[in-house]
């Protein structure tokens, strides 16, 4: 992979990681409800889970889904149902999590990593990156380079959203504002299903 192609890949990684989508809406809500430090496992889970998805797609899973469209359809249904469940949980959250007394907990590392496998935007990003930036003459190394690029860029990109959430905590300390913010985030998360359903 030439330096120019790798730079283009880094730009693609940044733009696709930092733009709105299920992960970023959940991180924004988590930053508001739980603060930055308690959201760190969620952010690391996204980075590790997406890296594992990229490697799987690059090393053959993408071809398997193309060969068996019913698997792709089942994944869409499973991912969509789980996304709606998460949207409901966010929309119904009513208290800022201060320690553990609220009973609410941020998404764990493992939950966030596993979510990448049913996240529609993550699949689109992974398939697109592997289709555009891998080299058929050097498939192994180019798949690794794509995964490396996203790993370098993903965590800082998604952490911006958690940071935005933390910045809003003071404003959203009012229970009414927090209620409507969480409802709006739940609706926004559910709306990310629209491109998948078209």
Per-residue pLDDT tens over the stretch 46-90: 999 999 999 999 888 767 767 777 776 777 777 778 778 878 887
User: Is-contact 123 52, C-beta < 8 A?
Assistant: no
pLDDT in tens, 167-193: 988 887 788 888 888 788 788 778 777
**54 domain-assigned:** yes
- Residue 35 placed within a domain: yes
Determine, yes or no, domain membership for 14. no
pLDDT of 116 reads 92
Number of structural domains found in the chain: 1
- Which of the 8 DSSP states describes residue 107? P
CB count in 10 Å sphere of residue 136: 6
At residue 135, the 3 state secondary structure works out as coil
Crossing angle (nearest 10°) for helices 22-34 and 36-56 = 160
Number of separate helices (H) and strands (E) present in the chain: 10, 0
The tokens for 174 are 């009012």
**For residues 158 and 23, is the Cβ–Cβ distance under 8 A?**
yes
* Mean pLDDT over the full length of the chain: 84
CA pair distance 141, 92, nearest whole angstrom: 45
Q: What is the pLDDT of residue 50?
A: 94
Alpha carbon dihedral 81, 192, 110, 151, in 10-degree steps, equals 150
- The answer to whether 179 and 81 have CB atoms below 8 angstroms apart is no
Is residue 15 included in any domain, yes or no?
A: no
Instruction: Report the sign of the C-alpha dihedral through residues 64, 65, 67, 69, in that order.
Output: positive
Q: Is position 149 within any domain?
A: yes
Residue 85: inside a domain: yes
Q: State how far the Cα of 116 lies from the Cα of 111, in Å rounded to an integer.
A: 9
Residue 117 has pLDDT above 80, yes or no: yes
Structural domain harbouring 129:
3-9+20-197
> pTM surpassing 0.85?
no
Location of structure tokens 């596993």: 114
pLDDT value at residue 27: 94
Q: Report pLDDT for 47.
A: 93
Length of the chain: 198
């Amino acid at each position: 992979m030439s330096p120019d192609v790798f730079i283009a890949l880094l730009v693609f990684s940044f733009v696709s990681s930092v733009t709105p989508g299920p992960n970023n809406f959940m991180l924004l809500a988590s930053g508001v409800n739980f603060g930055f430090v308690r959201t760190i496992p969620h952010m690391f889970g996204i980075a590790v889970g997406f890296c594992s998805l990229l490697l799987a797609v690059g090393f053959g899973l993408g071809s398997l889904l193309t060969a068996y469209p019913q698997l792709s359809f089942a994944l869409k249904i499973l991912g969509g149902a789980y996304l709606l469940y998460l949207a409901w949980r966010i929309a119904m959250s009513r208290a800022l999590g201060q320690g553990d007394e609220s009973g609410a907990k941020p998404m764990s590392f493992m939950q966030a990593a596993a979510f990448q496998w049913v996240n529609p935007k993550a699949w689109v990003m992974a398939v697109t990156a592997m289709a555009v930036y891998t080299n058929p003459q050097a498939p192994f190394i180019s798949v690794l380079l794509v995964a490396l690029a996203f790993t370098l860029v993903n965590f800082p990109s998604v952490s911006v959203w958690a940071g935005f959430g933390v910045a809003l905590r003071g404003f959203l300390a009012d229970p009414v504002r927090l209620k409507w913010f969480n409802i709006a985030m739940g609706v926004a998360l559910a709306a990310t299903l629209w491109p998948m359903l078209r």
